[in-house]
Structure formats: structure tokens, C-alpha cells
């Protein structure tokens, strides 16, 4: 389970499909239980622009009813097809070092990064 100090990484699933997660030196751990990062995901989704809200294009947090927010977030997650990861061992790794590791891991950058509960 990722803690609030973890760097949470979201890759497009077609970019992460070739990750050799069973390799001993693979630096990331897959987050299978999205409930552990539900707050991050909901906050990110609610701050996205509602493209159907022309001409003002307000964020979803202003256009969706509270009772519809989680359902719409789930639909967004299904559409985006992301895989979520955190580092197996974050001890002694600076943010810059983590970003260098991610840069070398995949040609494509992550879709989203969260650090200390905030999108970066």
C-alpha cells in the first residue's frame, strides 16, 4: 500500500505492458488496489476540464453533482486505461533520481505523477 509520501506513477497501459515486473531489478511495484489512491484519482479527475461545458469549460468539480462524481471518475479511469505504480524502495532516492529512473524505464513519460498527495 503506498503511503502519503510515495511517488505515485500512472502510465498508459499500452506503455507499461512490456514492463518486466518479475525482474529482480524492476524498480516499481504495481498498485492493484486503487482504493488506496482513490482520493488522488478523484481529485485529479474533478480538476479536469469538462469539455461538454461550453463556452465556460469549468472543471468537473463545478459541473457534476456530488453523487455522480465517483461514477464519472470510474468511467474516466476505464477510458484512460492507466496502470499505477510506486517505487519498491524509495529510501535514499531523491525525486530527481526517481525521475531519471522513470525516464530510462520507458520511452513514453508517465501520464500522471503524484507526490505527497499532490499532482506534479
Alpha helices in 35-106 (DSSP H): 38-46, 60-63, 66-80, 95-105
Confidence of residue 3 (pLDDT cuts 50, 70, 90): low
Q: Which of 118, 114, 112, 119 is nearest to 16 (CA)?
A: 112
C-alpha span between 84 and 33 (Å, rounded): 9
In which order are the strands placed within the sheet that holds 82-87? 28-30, 82-87, 7-12, 112-115, 118-119
pTM for the model stands at 0.89
pLDDT 10s digits, 7-20: 999 999 999 998 99
Q: Where are the domains of the chain?
A: 7-119
Cα gap 23→116, rounded to integer Å: 27
pLDDT tens digit string along 28-63? 999 999 999 999 999 999 999 999 999 999 999 999
Amino acid at each position: 500500500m503506498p503511503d502519503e509520501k510515495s511517488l505515485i506513477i500512472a502510465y498508459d497501459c499500452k506503455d507499461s505492458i512490456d514492463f518486466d515486473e518479475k525482474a529482480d531489478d524492476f524498480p516499481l511495484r504495481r498498485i492493484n488496489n486503487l482504493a488506496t489512491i482513490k482520493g488522488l484519482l478523484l481529485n485529479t479527475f474533478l480538476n479536469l476540464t469538462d469539455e461538454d461545458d461550453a463556452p465556460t469549460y469549468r472543471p468537473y468539480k463545478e459541473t457534476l453533482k456530488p453523487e455522480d462524481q465517483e461514477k464519472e471518475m470510474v468511467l474516466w479511469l476505464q477510458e484512460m486505461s492507466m496502470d499505477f505504480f510506486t517505487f519498491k524502495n524509495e529510501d535514499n532516492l531523491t525525486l530527481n533520481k526517481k525521475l531519471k529512473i522513470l525516464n530510462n524505464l520507458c520511452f513514453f513519460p508517465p501520464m500522471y505523477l503524484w507526490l505527497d498527495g499532490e499532482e506534479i
